[in-house]
Copies of this chain bind each other. A is one copy, B any other.
């Protein structure tokens, strides 16, 4: 009988819960607003109710591996506590994993959302032919996930992969993390809106100013649409974004020499607007990239460094989250078979 797992992507605005089988097929998905403002307990209650509904629907479909949950912030993998999660106020220093496990009576694995997205792309997306990949998720913030030998690289305390806080401009824009000039201040949706507003305020970008006035919910998507329509100020914003991203991708190639870099998250949809500047920058910044660049961009070649768009779109984190309990089960099976050999 095949097995399945529940993947949860708990964002600042959306809660998505899905059933994924061990071949990577998405069987059912529920999407609801997170309404973080209603408090931690409400959100966890709703999440658990969604999970239970889906588990019920698939009760006879196979073995349940467990529940994997991707969430913003830094997760202490040992204790299952959440740290530094500005998008989930009130969740700090709370035993998130234990609470959910107690409510569901099933194994729960928590993971940082960008790490989960990296694992999803490694399993079923752009990284599926590689053991080692690096993922950048460009969303409200900029997250990163490093997968080495097929596993998320957690580092000592589960805090690895914070690629959004690479310093791009030592004296640059202040970042919420306490640094100046972090990648996140140039390549996130939030940054794009901020930079567009500044350009509008300066008086040099009247079309941007008009768009801001006309759209009470002015967003990075609108900047992207204006860039598509040929607006030079909007295009310049994406070129600046591609440059910042290229600096960090180049540094990461020099440091880790991985074969696959995946760019995902909502802002990655603007690929054609920022990718040319990004590739230009990576070529300049990284001699390791120049030595290993594929002859054709985007082509899989032996010993070539690929930089490509994520394939799973906004579902990457959902697939990756579902994969977490499956990997744990695999590890357990392997450990058991070793034990049996020894006996």
Contact = CB atoms under 8 A, between A and B. Distances in A.
Nearest to A144: B255
B258 A156 contact: yes
A258 B148 CA distance: 14
B247 A170 contact: yes
Contacts of A83: 291
The CB with the most chain B CB atoms within 10 A, among A154, A247, A288, is that of A288
Interface in A274-321: 284-288, 290-292, 303, 305
Contact of A255 (B166, B247, B250): B166
Nearest to A252: B255
B156 A257 contact: yes
A157 B257 contact: yes
Interface in A154-186: 154-163, 165-170, 177-180
A225 to B, nearest CB: 29
A132 B156 contact: yes
**Which are the 10 A-B pairs with shortest beta-carbon distances?**
A155-B257, A160-B257, A162-B254, A159-B257, A177-B287, A156-B259, A159-B288, A166-B251, A165-B254, A179-B285
Interface of A: 74, 83-84, 132, 144, 146, 148, 153-163, 165-170, 177-180, 243, 247, 250-252, 254-259, 284-288, 290-292, 303, 305, 341
28 contacts: A74-B291, A83-B291, A84-B287, A84-B291, A148-B148, A148-B153, A153-B256, A154-B257, A156-B258, A156-B303, A158-B257, A159-B288, A160-B257, A161-B255, A162-B254, A162-B257, A162-B287, A163-B254, A165-B285, A166-B251, A166-B254, A166-B255, A167-B250, A167-B285, A168-B170, A178-B287, A178-B290, A179-B286
